[in-house]
């Protein structure tokens, strides 16, 4: 899992960094950590806002939360993105009819490669026709 953080109008402290890493590792139970987590933290009016973007093979999830405290925003945004990841995981399990999340990840990768293969075949046919 790769974690990226970005702060705007806020001071980046080691305590915030530690909390972000703790919260990010809660998401590790989904898809066995084969994804990237991007955090954006900023101040808007008198509120503290935390945005999170989770990018994996075949999916991109985004959540945002604001509150008076940045730590509370972290809790809220992680709850939101956990719900999204749980729904995605259940959807993939239902679609595949398998018990393994890693197979779901392989399914997403193979789906991408099939699409690129179809595109390559289509472009070859177009080249032959021209």
- Read off the pLDDT of residues 13-61 as tens digits, 9 standing for 90 and up: 999 999 999 998 888 887 777 789 999 999 988 899 999 999 988 889 9
- Show Cβ contacts of residue 27 under 8 Å, excluding neighbours closer than 6 positions: 1, 35, 37, 54, 78, 81, 82, 85
| C-alpha–C-alpha distance, residues 96 and 19, integer Å | 35
Give the predicted TM-score (pTM) of the model. Answer: 0.70
Four-CA torsion 43, 17, 5, 104, nearest 10 degrees: -120
Instruction: Evaluate if residue 101 carries a pLDDT over 70.
Output: no
Residue 112: which domain range?
2-129
Q: What CATH number corresponds to the domain at position 9?
A: 3.30.160.100
| C-alpha–C-alpha distance, residues 28 and 122, integer Å | 38
Work out how many domains the chain is built from and give that number: 1
Of 15, 16, 68, the residue nearest 40 (C-alpha): 16
Instruction: Give SS3 for 69.
Output: coil
């Amino acid at each position: 899992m790769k974690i990226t953080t970005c702060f705007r109008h806020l001071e980046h402290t080691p305590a915030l960094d530690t909390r972000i890493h703790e919260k990010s590792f809660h998401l590790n139970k989904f898809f066995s950590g084969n994804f990237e987590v991007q955090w954006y933290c900023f101040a808007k009016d008198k509120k503290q806002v935390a945005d999170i973007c989770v990018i994996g093979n075949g999916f991109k999830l985004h959540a945002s939360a604001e509150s008076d405290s940045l730590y509370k925003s972290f809790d809220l945004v992680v709850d939101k993105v956990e719900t999204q990841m749980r729904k995605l995981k259940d959807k993939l399990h239902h679609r595949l009819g398998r018990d393994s999340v890693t197979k779901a990840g392989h399914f997403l990768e193979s789906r991408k490669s099939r699409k690129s293969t179809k595109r390559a075949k289509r472009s070859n046919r177009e080249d032959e026709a021209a």
